[in-house]
């Protein structure tokens, strides 16, 4: 009878160990999935940072172009006002 009780206690112990190993296996599987998701997120973040840096460089170029265009428009506007003033002066000279 003692052999049967030790066999059943060993069986129960082995069963508990198997259950713990199953839980550990599930935990490792979940951990692997989480790690894959983190790696995927890091890859996406790296790509977004690269695209942000490109956009920032493009914006800096555009700022330079806008500054140049703004200066050109100021010069052209002043020249246009000079022409309008001269034209008004000529018209007033002839109507005198």
Give the pLDDT band of residue 96 (cuts 50, 70, 90): confident
- Per-residue pLDDT tens over the stretch 15-56: 999 999 999 999 999 999 999 999 999 999 999 999 999 999
Phi, psi of 58 (to 5 degrees): -60, -40
Residue 30 CA to residue 88 CA, distance in Å, equals 83
pTM metric for this prediction: 0.57
2 has pLDDT over 90: no
pLDDT number for residue 79: 96
- Per-residue pLDDT tens over the stretch 64-84: 999 999 999 999 999 999 999
């Amino acid at each position: 009878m003692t052999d049967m009780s030790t066999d059943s206690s060993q069986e129960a112990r082995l069963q508990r160990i198997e259950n713990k190993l199953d839980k550990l296996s599930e935990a490792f599987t979940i951990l692997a999935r989480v790690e894959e998701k983190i790696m995927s997120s890091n890859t996406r973040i790296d790509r977004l940072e690269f695209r942000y840096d490109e956009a920032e460089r493009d914006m800096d170029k555009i700022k330079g172009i806008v500054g140049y265009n703004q200066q050109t428009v100021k010069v052209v506007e002043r020249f246009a006002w000079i022409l309008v003033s001269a034209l008004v002066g000529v018209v007033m000279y002839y109507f005198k």
